[in-house]
Structure 1
């Protein structure tokens, strides 16, 4: 056995290690000019804590622990509300010689935000030295929950009650549409500049040109009005938007380039954000939960001065990938005569292990609820099953018509259907469902490339082995419907996302592979040419 499998396993294992070493290689970036931020957004929620749980009050000890962790990198935190225990941030920050950008959350219902205004005024009177400014409302105009005139009145009320600098915060484009009364009411304009979320997204390498453009536009429209950047930052995980790619390296690059520019131009700013917030993934997809400089476990994601890796734990990931590949070989037990015959199944198993590890990593990043986790584990099991059937040469997985499976599922046919055929139907329907969701509601949805890479490659391999790629399929109604959905969605997604989004293009390529796998359904049988039976 060692003679048959030893050399192929060694070579394939080295290839897997090489792939992970490449993905995890440290990237040299210009160092940050200084180890401190002017201010950083702070929301204290951890784990399954969420602001939507109105009964939740964050313990003071939890906030104190966070502030002690943030003190070395900033002397200021921005908070967005004064309820759920957030009012405790002000005295705790004062005890540590820190300041607070004190936010009042303004929504659509005065009965809810009025107590926050009262609380903020009381905090301002009790701890005036600890409050850098008061921010009355965050992106209220963007959400359409109050008018600019109403916000102007609230800003004026808070300033008169506290005597402290007061502002309002929103995306820079909404400031451009704000009424003059709001512009006049604030002591300075707090603008949000988030290149990733722009209508025309900018990559992390375009930090300086984008900042210069926005600040130039705001300066021309509001001459003489002081500006503060209230939010700027970059996500470390999630879907790409054109060539704006979330990653740890891109986040570190944005931070460092921004700090160089901010220092050179004496900008006042607040960076978003201190800690990853898992609850935001339910609102904004995976990307919403990964804007923190620290992860949800309060570990720094990268060093501000040294090279940065997207996969600093790549040796562990490589080892797990190899173990997954070995597990599929051990369960499948493909029969081979010598080491040459063992090369192909070894490559398939190790490539599958590598892709499943990428899939597991993505599942960890995107799941929110236990149901989400169960779905992701089910998809991992699906990939594992596909590998087993492929290694065993079970051609039903890549070639069986879908009619028999659909008739069995709706109880029109009681004859047994191979598990591989049902798995094939499940995969194709699942891919079509994801494709439709991305075509109609893509903003917060990611591209499950690794999830469908194993099935797509396996279908092609099995069809090629049996010579069934162009073979006509009798009664291929299901295949024709699914292939139309897959091709239509692939073309629309590629057009909508644009040619710069490699994640979208890669997923569209997988959809087209699935559609190509069913091309035989569009060919009429010709005399003398064998066909794949419907059942």
Structure 2
């Protein structure tokens, strides 16, 4: 980062075509990490793993938390894919979370220089949080606020979430980019992670056919190393263990030329074992 705050985000971000393959980690903020811990772990993502971004997951409702995220990202030299968290309780808390996030992005002078995109998520279509047309309206309203600052807006969702709503074309039309969840472990016909590439391609092909050629990231993406409540396979042949988790990321890494050719970036879910046990290989597997 420069030692001054630029006047504009024009030509600030790398072109989308240059962002492909491994981008960084999903990072759960439910623990409400301190600014010091955010800075330390963001630097680890940047320096130890070459990550370019941190993709937020979950929610911390502490006042000023996203200011801490912004300052930590600035110091670490990473961008942020921010998230408006809906949760699983069916409340309207996402509304004030949205407003608080937008206020920080608009008022913190560093925020627009680290916030690459704001995501509505996670999986609001699959969870039936809002009807597609209402979600699309939220995306369009957010774009009016954030696009002038150079911040893109999207929805973090798996292909099935769109398919369950007949394709939810209004949402795909509204988003600036596509943040696709890629979790082949949960497929009805899943087997081993090393054999999961056809499952990845199946969802990618759906987004290619329906996404209007928009930039795509695999935002929530991985293979668990253990099962738990809510993390159960839908196929008797899918196994959650460290070996399969490693095999999944090895599979993706080996296809870097493919991701470069189609300009798709992917995140590893998730950074720390203390966030979601059984969902991290790189650090503690």
Aligned equivalent of 1:218, options 197, 200, 207: 207
Superposition pairs of residues 498-517 of structure 1, within 5 angstroms: none
Q: Which runs of 5+ in 2 are unaligned?
A: 1-20
Deviations 1:131-175 (A, max 9, x none): 111102211111122111221111112111111211001111112
1:234 lines up with 2:223 in the alignment: yes
Deviations 1:394-436 (A, max 9, x none): xxxxxxxxxxxxxxxxxxxxxxxxxxxxxxxxxxxxxxxxxxx
Higher strand share: 2
Structure 1 partner of 2:123: 139
SS of residue paired to 1:102: strand
Q: Distance in 1 between matches of 2:33 and 2:214?
A: 37
Structure 2 partner of 1:379: none
1:118 lines up with 2:99 in the alignment: yes
Superposition pairs of residues 13-412 of structure 1, within 5 angstroms: 37-44=22-29, 57-71=32-46, 72-73=48-49, 74-80=51-57, 83-85=60-62, 86-87=65-66, 88-106=68-86, 108-110=90-92, 112-125=93-106, 126=108, 127-163=111-147, 164-176=151-163, 177=165, 178-238=167-227, 241-266=235-260, 267-277=264-274, 289-293=277-281, 299-301=283-285
Deviation for aligned residue 1:263: 4.0
Distance verdict in 2 for CA 1:62–1:138, change over 3 Å: same
Deviation for aligned residue 1:277: 4.4
SS of residue paired to 2:279: coil
Superposition pairs of residues 410-425 of structure 1, within 5 angstroms: none
Q: CA RMSD in A?
A: 2.3
SS of residue paired to 2:82: strand
Between the two proteins, the alignment pairs up a number of residues equal to 242
* Structure label with greater radius of gyration: 1
Deviation for aligned residue 1:291: 0.8
Q: Distance in 1 between matches of 2:218 and 2:34?
A: 30
Deviation for aligned residue 1:92: 0.6
Q: Distance in 2 between matches of 1:231 and 1:81?
A: 12
Deviations 1:168-196 (A, max 9, x none): 01111112334322111101221111011
Q: Distance in 2 between matches of 1:61 and 1:229?
A: 28
Q: Distance in 2 between matches of 1:223 and 1:64?
A: 37
Q: Distance in 2 between matches of 1:77 and 1:102?
A: 8
Distance verdict in 2 for CA 1:78–1:214, change over 3 Å: same
Contact 1:194/1:232 (CA < 8 Å) preserved in 2?
Answer: yes
Q: Which runs of 5+ in 1 are unaligned?
A: 1-35, 50-56, 281-288, 302-535
Q: Distance in 1 between matches of 2:217 and 2:44?
A: 25
Deviations 1:310-335 (A, max 9, x none): xxxxxxxxxxxxxxxxxxxxxxxxxx
Contact 1:82/1:120 (CA < 8 Å) preserved in 2?
Answer: no
Distance verdict in 2 for CA 1:160–1:202, change over 3 Å: farther
Q: Distance in 1 between matches of 2:161 and 2:105?
A: 28
